[in-house]
Amino acid sequence: MAREFIVDGRTFPDPDPNRSVEEVKRMMESFFPELANAETREHKKGEDTSYEFVRRVGTKGNKRDKFILMPCPICATDPQIVCPRDVDAQCLHCGQQFCGGHIGIHLKAVHCVSLDLDYCSKR
Residue 113 domain-assigned (yes or no): yes
Same domain assignment for residues 10 and 49: yes
Same domain assignment for residues 7 and 49: yes
Q: For the whole prediction, is pTM greater than 0.75? A: no
Same domain assignment for residues 80 and 45: no
Same domain assignment for residues 116 and 81: yes
pLDDT tens, position by position, 86-104: 677 788 778 888 777 778 7
pLDDT tens, position by position, 36-57: 888 899 999 888 899 999 887 6
**Structural domain harbouring 36:** 3-54
More confident residue, 90 or 5: 5
Looking at residue 40, its pLDDT comes to 92
Residue 60 domain-assigned (yes or no): no
> Could you tell me the CA-to-CA distances from 39 to 18, 26, 34, 109, 123 in Å, in that order?
21, 12, 11, 36, 53
Distance CA 80, CA 98 (A): 17
- The number of domains in the chain is 2
